[in-house]
Structure 1
Amino acid sequence: MQDVRWGIIGTGQMADAFATDFNFAKTGTLSAVASRSKSAADAFAAKHDIELALVDYFSLINSHEVDVIYIATPHVFHFDLAKACILAGKHVVVEKPITINMEQAQALFDLAAEHNVFVMEAMWSRFTPAIEQAIEWVEEGEIGDLHSIQANFSFVGPKDPNHRLLNLELGGGALLDIGIYPIFLAQLFNGRPDFVQNQAVIGDSDVDVFTQIMLGWEGGQLASLEASLLTHGPNRALISGNGGYIELGDEWYKTKQIRLVKTDGSERAIEFDFPGTGYQFEIEEVNRCIEEGLLQSPNHSWQDSLDLLATMDEIRLDMGVVYPGEPDPISEEELHHHHHEHGHHKH
């Protein structure tokens, strides 16, 4: 079977990191890139040694030179571009969040099933060695019954209100961009939460810039999570149970270090050695799935993506952050009819 051929839509930071790590993947070929700007497409292709540089997204979507397309544009464009890829019979990997809300994601997955193409949200951290190791330790009972997850993702964000991260029109805000990582970690082990609480700071451009999230499960698990564009943090994660805890090193979503500390004080530490940021593991997973004829990855399934968006939709409803084209949330009055004890405060 010939190598899976990839195309990339978008030439921003994410696309650049992805293309860099493509060199470290054991499978697949990076064949094409598309940008709306000719100079950007040409520069990206030259930098990453890509044969085909296209100026129109649809030339790439309809190209016979590619099997799978990685979409690395701002969030609000994910749905339409992924839909176009699916309709053109192309497999697609969409930068996270796969869409801005659960309804859009469900529509994409339904379409993918109908057209028999592979679709995955680019949750690359799921496939990194440290996360795989954490899953293994938890499954082997190394930390006993898991009760607590603490994780954050924070960095000092841009000041320009038109920047993708702060622009409401582009699906900006801390939650969708970086909050999805801690939520992913919590739901990886516990599934979709039974309780969701949130405290947020809404910035001048009407998107969330700092949020702290508490998730709870009927089985007695809690997760305390943070996403911030206001603070510089080490971004560590702790997974704790009655038998011990697992500590993921700094920048846990791509860390090469993991430590297991048992109740009796004994500990084990592993240092992984791999080049780049770690996108290569996700690339290899996609290639494997496509070669096996799967429509979704069993390790980050359509349901996993829907569950993430369900939680983020609920948090956003609480924040009052609504993106263009989304239905307006239920008004305060209507909420009070249903739910008298629902205290709400503006930040």
Structure 2
Amino acid sequence: MENNNKIKWGIIGLGNIANQFADDLLLLEEAEIVAVASRNKDKAAEFAKKYNCHKGYDSYEALFADASVDIVYIATPHDSHAELSIKAMQSGKHVLCEKPMSLSYPDAIRMIETSIKHNTFFMEAFWTRFLPSVKEVLEKVNKGIIGELRYVKADFAFYADEKQGGRLFNKNQGGGALFDIGVYPLFLSYIMLGIPKEIIAKSIYNANGIDLQTAMVLQYESAQAILHASIVSESDMKATLSGTEGTIVLNAPWFVADGYSLFKDNHETVFSLSNLGKGYTYEAMECHKCIRNNRIESQLWSHQNSLDLSRIVEEIKNQIGLSFS
């Protein structure tokens, strides 16, 4: 692919996240949405018209077969991420797949193996990893600005009305707090502290076996992470990183932070870093960079990073007795 050519995107699963992502793609001159797909033909046509895209398919397979598509953004419900990602890569397409990349660790392995076999770029869409605030905070922590990191506190919580139903409460689609939003605080703990030595997790379920809220304690050699996810209550959604010489607090909501505060030597320093669009722009730019450089994975959120996180989530899933079968 020539460096002066636009990266041509296909989008499948045309819900709220896909709309936000498409809005951000329009901010990038190097990106072009050339095809979208939904099982609902009218929805595909409406989405295509909204984003000035000439192709709106009523099947995902048709989009995978479209030679004009370079990379597919997969924003379908969780239960279909693995199979659709694999089909797209088998069709020679690069893939950016919404988190969680799969509902099981074995499926995550299959996805990475497919990327390697077909020499296609694959990345789990952990957009938070590429935000300026998160990148800068991680750099400060790694440089020892707050000393040795000893404590991470992060949560992701909001109230959803179960009576209204929807994907969040649909067991067949991988609903529940852990897989929908719990992966965010787990991601933060992972990039800051790595793989824990021990995990303790407890959940509260609804009658259908969906975890409504899940609390997690991750034990490290000399640090702990206290994490929480809920779809039945709210929180301040700040993230705290405390070390032996200082503390960093990411602005709320921390997973899309537009800045952070550093508390050190009895002094607070405020850092403001506004995001381009909602912030999905940065993960898209990372995809472009990798594709142009013929890489099948990102160095900032690699295949191994996704597998590590998937393994952590799998352990919690097993520990709390969560099953999607």
Letter of the 2:161 partner, please give it: P
1:214–1:225 CA contact under 8 A, matched in 2: yes
- Aligned partner of 1:12 in structure 2 is 15
- Aligned partner of 1:314 in structure 2 is 315
Normalised TM-score (structure 1): 0.90
| Stretches of structure 1 lacking an aligned partner (at least 5 in a row) | 325-347
Task: Identify which range, 18-27 or 156-165, moves more after superposition.
Answer: 156-165
- CA positional deviation for 1:27: 2.6
1:160–1:166 CA contact under 8 A, matched in 2: no
2:14–2:38 CA contact under 8 A, matched in 1: yes
CA distance in 2, matches of 1:15, 1:158: 22
- Aligned partner of 2:272 in structure 1 is 271
Matched, 1:59 2:38: no
Alignment of 1:177-188 (within 5 A): 177-188=180-191
Q: Secondary structure at the match of 1:233?
A: coil
- CA positional deviation for 1:232: 1.6
- Aligned partner of 1:254 in structure 2 is 256
- Aligned partner of 2:179 in structure 1 is 176
Q: Percent identity?
A: 35
Matched, 1:134 2:137: yes
Q: Secondary structure at the match of 1:201?
A: strand
Letter of the 1:282 partner, please give it: E
Count how many residue pairs are aligned between Structure 1 and Structure 2. 322
- Aligned partner of 2:119 in structure 1 is 116
Letter of the 2:244 partner, please give it: N
- Aligned partner of 1:101 in structure 2 is 104
1:148–1:240 CA contact under 8 A, matched in 2: yes
Q: What is the CA deviation profile of residues 246-291 of structure 1, one whole-angstrom value per residue up to 9, with x for unaligned ones?
A: 10011100010211111x1122211122342100000000110111
Letter of the 1:94 partner, please give it: C
Matched, 1:225 2:219: no
2:71 pairs, out of 68, 71, 91, with: 68
- Aligned partner of 1:242 in structure 2 is 244
Q: Secondary structure at the match of 1:199?
A: strand
1:25–1:281 CA contact under 8 A, matched in 2: no
Instruction: Let me know the Cα RMSD of the aligned residues.
Output: 1.2
- Aligned partner of 2:299 in structure 1 is 298
Runs of 4+ in structure 1 displaced over 6 angstroms? none
Q: What is the CA deviation profile of residues 144-166 of structure 1, one whole-angstrom value per residue up to 9, with x for unaligned ones?
A: 10111000000002314741111
CA distance in 2, matches of 1:234, 1:104: 34
Q: Secondary structure at the match of 1:165?
A: helix
- CA positional deviation for 1:118: 0.5
Letter of the 1:245 partner, please give it: T
CA distance in 2, matches of 1:265, 1:25: 41
Q: What is the CA deviation profile of residues 154-206 of structure 1, one whole-angstrom value per residue up to 9, with x for unaligned ones?
A: 00023147411111111111001100000000000111111000111011221
CA distance in 2, matches of 1:167, 1:303: 29
- CA positional deviation for 1:79: 1.0
Normalised TM-score (structure 2): 0.96
Letter of the 2:245 partner, please give it: G
- Aligned partner of 1:336 in structure 2 is none
Task: Identify which range, 48-57 or 34-43, moves more after superposition.
Answer: 48-57
The 3 A distance-change label for structure 1 pair 305 and 160 is farther
Q: Secondary structure at the match of 2:162?
A: coil
1:158–1:165 CA contact under 8 A, matched in 2: no
1:173–1:209 CA contact under 8 A, matched in 2: yes
CA distance in 2, matches of 1:291, 1:275: 21
CA distance in 2, matches of 1:53, 1:161: 29
- Aligned partner of 1:335 in structure 2 is none
The 3 A distance-change label for structure 1 pair 158 and 302 is farther
Q: What is the CA deviation profile of residues 18-55 of structure 1, one whole-angstrom value per residue up to 9, with x for unaligned ones?
A: 10111223532221110111111111112222221111
